[in-house]
Amino acid sequence: MDYQVFVNTMIETLKFDEKFKEHRDKILPIIRRSKVNSIAKYAFAIRPGQHYEDVELRVPIPLINEANKLKDHIAGLVGYVYEESDDYALGSTLIKPQMLYSETQEDREHDVVFSEIEETIIQGIRDARFLIWAAVAWFTNKTIYDELLKKKEEGLNIRIAISDEETNSKLLPNLKANFELTVISRHGWNNYNRMHDKFCIIDLDYVMHGSYNWTPTANHNEETLATALDKDYVKKFADEFMRLFKKQF
């Protein structure tokens, strides 16, 4: 089994197959951050010479309780995607914690996407449990705004820093009314210089950053979004966000 292909297929199935719609938003972050192993069994399956294999999901420890609650649904997804071969048939689906090989080890995961960027950002927002801090030069995307508002209603701390741009006036009243907001003035010769960042911090654990502004037109551009689950890396973005959030030109 090519495990990366298997994981990618589960992710795409969750996105588009209505069969998994009810629990999609809860299962997606678990599958994205889990490591998949197979455990060959001695027991024979149906075909001559064919054995069973268990599929083991090693889940990050902060997500293990949620994964156990959803075990039956995850097992259903694994069984739906699993491709039987002449050598192996699916046995059980096992949920286990990812191993920590030292007391100081932390999860580190870096990735980059070039398509479905809006969807990746929305999923990151949905994964948030405590806070969301975003520094985005242009913010006119109502879909992303609505996702942030849902998180605000759940009690999360939402802070936004945007540039002082005419096009941002579309959402500006709503942003001011609902979130902690800083509008960073343009400066320099002829007010040409501006805050040009595009990054979003989730729970001080995860960051999304790149070329993508939170605007509808960005969905039609060639854009890049890098993601990182890396506390040391995220801390640098958090320090920069705090500097920007208090900045006055």
Name the amino acid, one letter, at 210: G
Is the C-alpha dihedral spanning 234, 237, 239, 242 positive or negative? Answer: negative
Q: How confident is the model at residue 192 (pLDDT cuts 50, 70, 90)?
A: low
Name the amino acid, one letter, at 37: N
Instruction: Specify the range with the lowest mean pLDDT, choosing from 28-32, 138-142, 159-163.
Output: 28-32
In eight-state DSSP terms, residue 231 is: H
What integer pLDDT is reported at residue 249 of this predicted model? Answer: 40
Contacts 24+ apart (CB under 8 A), 204-209: 204/130, 204/131, 204/231, 204/234, 204/235, 204/238, 205/229, 205/231, 205/234, 206/124, 206/127, 206/234, 207/233, 207/234, 207/237, 208/120, 208/121, 208/124, 209/237
Of 28, 205, 206, 23, residue with least CA distance to 123:
28
pLDDT at residue 35 above 80?
yes
In eight-state DSSP terms, residue 98 is: P
What integer pLDDT is reported at residue 247 of this predicted model? Answer: 66
Express each pLDDT in 199-220 by its tens digit.
Answer: 999 998 889 999 998 988 888 8
Full-model pTM: 0.62
Express each pLDDT in 220-235 by its tens digit.
Answer: 888 889 888 888 889 9
Name every residue whose Cβ is closer than 8 Å to that of residue 156 and which is 6 or more positions away in sequence: 128, 129, 130, 131, 132
